[in-house]
Amino acid sequence: MSKRTVVITGLGIISPVGLDRESTFEALLAGRSGLGPITHFDASAFTTRIAGELKGFDAAPILTPLRARKLDRFSQIGLAAGIAAWQDSGLDINKLNADRVGAVAGSGIGGLSTIEEQHDVLRERGPGRITPFLIPKLMMNALSGELSIQLGLKGPNWVTASACASAAHAIGSALRAIQYDEADIMLSGGSEAAITPLGIGGFCSLRAMSTRNESPTAASRPFDRDRDGFVMGEGGAVLVLEELEHAKRRGARIYCELAGFGATADAHHITAPAECAEGAQRSMRLAMRDRGIDPSTVNYINAHGTSTPINDPNETAAIKAVFGDRVRQIAVNSTKSMVGHLLGASGAVEAAVCALSLSRGVIHRTLNHENPGDGCDLDYVPEGSRELRITAALSNSLGFGGHNCTLAFRHFS
């Protein structure tokens, strides 16, 4: 059967640089970093003491205090982003067939703060004092479940977990559900809230994060010679995906077309990518092939761009291999340079940024890109935001486990 056309009609973003869609995009275009010293806990004993925390996030507008206590922070963030996306779309569930509206969410870690908190309760007060909400709070599918409960969505509903590719896989899965007529509308994205002692400590032990603790806003340096690791962030984003004719009939505002999804595995190593990101090459090609995007029309890539010594030259090599001689005509940026690495939620925030960039004809800079690193010689948009009429764009998400995911977008007019 032929694939149906899918467009993006709603966006919700909660990030370290802004608690909504507009403030986030405005901050990115202004080149403002959301990274700073960790305040969620005493990080003085950790080798990395900086992160991209949400500033002033409060779930009170959407949840009563009692309801909020039953949800982990990652679910609260994702639910807030999802409700914002739904409101942005102008949809009304009472005017829809709820059986044809679903939600797919992604998270790499889920309710980590709840696990840590309740493990302390177990050790200090015994098993009888563990909250009965432990399991519902920590499970990753709490987010997609809560979206369906809060908004009355009765269509396809599940969660994806593929480390840093989780939210991108979720969006790709939601795309497929609409393409193949299993739904007309899907909410999809992801959230993460892993700035906890165990979350930070685990990545410190992996030696994957920057230790530029005295200069947090300069610590995330994708593709730069002096990068020394990623900076963890928290937050999330949700997109409303809608079948094109359904969107047209109701007069929806359309940001862009979500025009492709590619997913591959490296079959190589649990944390290190294959040489030249061979799996990412295939995921980019598959995403373009999905709905027939001509590679010659791609002029923007929102890179995975983690600021780690291994990822950045490998991803650059993959982009070169896919686009060949015209690679210099493609603008490549990294949202992580300002919001940090939101782990499983990063693909959702970056997909939302792509949709806004396509809609408004402007892309943000890669902050802190001052001296190109070895093997990093593309146009990483280092000077400032840039007006660009994007014809087609890609967003890469590459996760531990060898997971590669690419989403493709096309300008809608």
Where in the sequence numbering do the catalytic residues fall?
164, 304, 341
Separation of alpha carbons 86 and 213, rounded Å: 38
Nearest to 74 by CA among 157, 195, 178, 183: 195
Q: Could you identify the residue written with the tokens 């994957």?
A: 208
Separation of alpha carbons 43 and 177, rounded Å: 43
Separation of alpha carbons 257 and 273, rounded Å: 30
DSSP 8-state secondary structure symbol assigned to residue 6: E
Separation of alpha carbons 99 and 182, rounded Å: 10
Separation of alpha carbons 156 and 147, rounded Å: 12
* DSSP three-state, residue 209: strand
CB atoms near residue 90 (< 10 Å): 13
* CA 159 vs CA 141, 173, 187, 197: distances in Å: 5, 10, 12, 25
Q: Tokens for 74, please give them.
A: 């990652």
- Beta bridge partners, 333, equal 302
Strand 101-106 vs strand 157-160: parallel, antiparallel, or unpaired? parallel
Torsion angle (degrees, nearest 10) of CA 341, 138, 53, 355: 50
CB 258 within 8 A of CB 391: no
3-state helix, strand, coil in the chain (%, to 5): 40, 20, 40
Residues 6+ apart with CB under 8 A from 94: none
